[in-house]
Amino acid sequence: MVAYRAFFGHVDECLPGVHFESRQAVKEAGLHKEREAGISWGLDANGERAADAIVLNRGYEDDIDKWDEVIYTGAGGRDRNTGRQVEDQTWDNRGNAGLRRSRISNNSVRVIRGSEGERDYSPISGYRYDGLYRVVDDWTEAGRAGFQICRFRLRRLPDEMQELTSFEQQIRESLTPSTRYEADFYGDETPEQPTRRRAITIERIIRDTAVVRRVKEWHDYTCQACGLALKVGMPGKGYAEGAHIQALGGPEGGPDVESNVLCLCPNCHVRLDRGALYLTDDFYVVDRYLSDSVSRPVELRTVEQHRIGRRFLRAHRRFWRIDE
Amino acid sequence: MVAYRAFFGHVDECLPGVHFESRQAVKEAGLHKEREAGISWGLDANGERAADAIVLNRGYEDDIDKWDEVIYTGAGGRDRNTGRQVEDQTWDNRGNAGLRRSRISNNSVRVIRGSEGERDYSPISGYRYDGLYRVVDDWTEAGRAGFQICRFRLRRLPDEMQELTSFEQQIRESLTPSTRYEADFYGDETPEQPTRRRAITIERIIRDTAVVRRVKEWHDYTCQACGLALKVGMPGKGYAEGAHIQALGGPEGGPDVESNVLCLCPNCHVRLDRGALYLTDDFYVVDRYLSDSVSRPVELRTVEQHRIGRRFLRAHRRFWRIDE
A235 touches chain B (CB under 8 A): no
B16 touches chain A (CB under 8 A): yes
Instruction: Quickly count: other Cβ atoms within 10 Å of residue A205's Cβ.
Output: 11
What is the rounded average pLDDT for all residues in chain A? Answer: 84
Q: What percent of chain A has pLDDT over 90?
A: 62
pLDDT lower than 50: segments of chain B: 165-199
Main-chain dihedrals φ then ψ at residue A116, nearest 5 degrees: -90, 0
Q: A204, B199: Cβ pair inside 8 Å?
A: no
The CA distance from B249 to the nearest CA of chain A, in Å, is 13
Q: What is the pLDDT of residue A114?
A: 96
Q: What is the pLDDT of residue B183?
A: 30
Helices (H), chain B: 23-28, 94-105, 166-174, 178-185, 210-218, 266-273, 310-319
pLDDT of residue A129 exceeding 70, the answer is yes
Write down all domains in chain A, each with its CATH number in brackets.
Answer: 19-185 (2.30.280.10), 210-319 (no CATH)
CA atoms within 13 A on the CB side of B164: 25
Q: What is the pLDDT of residue A177?
A: 32
The CA distance from B78 to the nearest CA of chain A, in Å, is 37
Q: What is the pLDDT of residue A84?
A: 84
A196 → chain B, closest CA residue: B165
Pick the most confident of A10-19, A64-73, A182-191: A64-73
Chain B residues touching A200 at Cβ < 8 A: 15-16, 159, 162-163, 207-209
A287 touches chain B (CB under 8 A): no
Q: B234, A167: Cβ pair inside 8 Å?
A: no
Main-chain dihedrals φ then ψ at residue A154, nearest 5 degrees: -115, 145
Residue from A202, A232, A244, A286 whose CB has the most chain B CBs within 10 Å, to mutate: A232
Q: What is the pLDDT of residue B72?
A: 96
Q: What is the pLDDT of residue B176?
A: 29
B288 touches chain A (CB under 8 A): yes
Q: What is the pLDDT of residue B250?
A: 65
The CA distance from A172 to the nearest CA of chain B, in Å, is 14
Q: Which of A166, A203, A231 sits opposite B206 (nearest CB)?
A: A203
Q: Which of A15, A164, A267 sits opposite B266 (nearest CB)?
A: A267
pLDDT of residue A252 exceeding 60, the answer is yes
B274 touches chain A (CB under 8 A): yes
Residue from B11, B160, B195, B203 whose CB has the most chain A CBs within 10 Å, to mutate: B203
Q: A199, B166: Cβ pair inside 8 Å?
A: no
What is the C-alpha R_g of chain A?
Answer: 22
Q: A167, B194: Cβ pair inside 8 Å?
A: yes
pLDDT digits (tens, 9 = 90+) for A211-240: 999 999 999 999 999 999 999 987 889 999
Cα angle value B113/B118/B119 (rounded, 5°)? 105
pLDDT of residue A93 exceeding 90, the answer is yes
Q: What is the pLDDT of residue B96?
A: 97
Q: How far is CA A276 from CA A100, A226, A253, A280, B302, in A?
A: 47, 14, 19, 13, 27
pLDDT digits (tens, 9 = 90+) for A29-87: 999 999 999 999 999 988 999 999 999 998 677 889 999 999 999 999 888 888 788 99
Q: Which of A17, A207, A275 sits opposite B203 (nearest CB)?
A: A207
A290 → chain B, closest CA residue: B231
Is A198 exposed, middle or buried, given 0-12, 13-18 or 19+ CB atoms closer than 10 A?
A: middle
Chain A residues touching B198 at Cβ < 8 A: 15, 163
ipTM score of complex: 0.77
B198 → chain A, closest CA residue: A163
A12 → chain B, closest CA residue: B197
Q: What is the pLDDT of residue B84?
A: 84
- Which SS3 state, helix, strand or coil, does residue B105 take? helix
Q: What is the pLDDT of residue A236?
A: 85
Residue A230 to residue A227: CA distance in whole angstroms = 9
Residue ranges of B 175-204 with Cβ closer than 8 A to chain A:
194-204
pTM for the model stands at 0.79
Q: A206, B204: Cβ pair inside 8 Å?
A: yes
Instruction: Quickly count: other Cβ atoms within 10 Å of residue A214's Cβ.
Output: 20
The CA distance from A242 to the nearest CA of chain B, in Å, is 10
B169 touches chain A (CB under 8 A): yes
Enumerate residues 6+ apart whose C-beta is below 8 A from B1. none
pLDDT digits (tens, 9 = 90+) for A139-177: 999 988 899 999 999 999 887 677 654 344 334 433 323
Chain B residues touching A320 at Cβ < 8 A: 234
B316 touches chain A (CB under 8 A): no
A223 → chain B, closest CA residue: B267
Q: What is the pLDDT of residue B199?
A: 47
* Backbone dihedral region for residue A6 (phi beyond 0: left; psi -120 to 50: alpha; all else: beta): beta
Q: How many CB pairs under 8 A join A and B?
A: 166
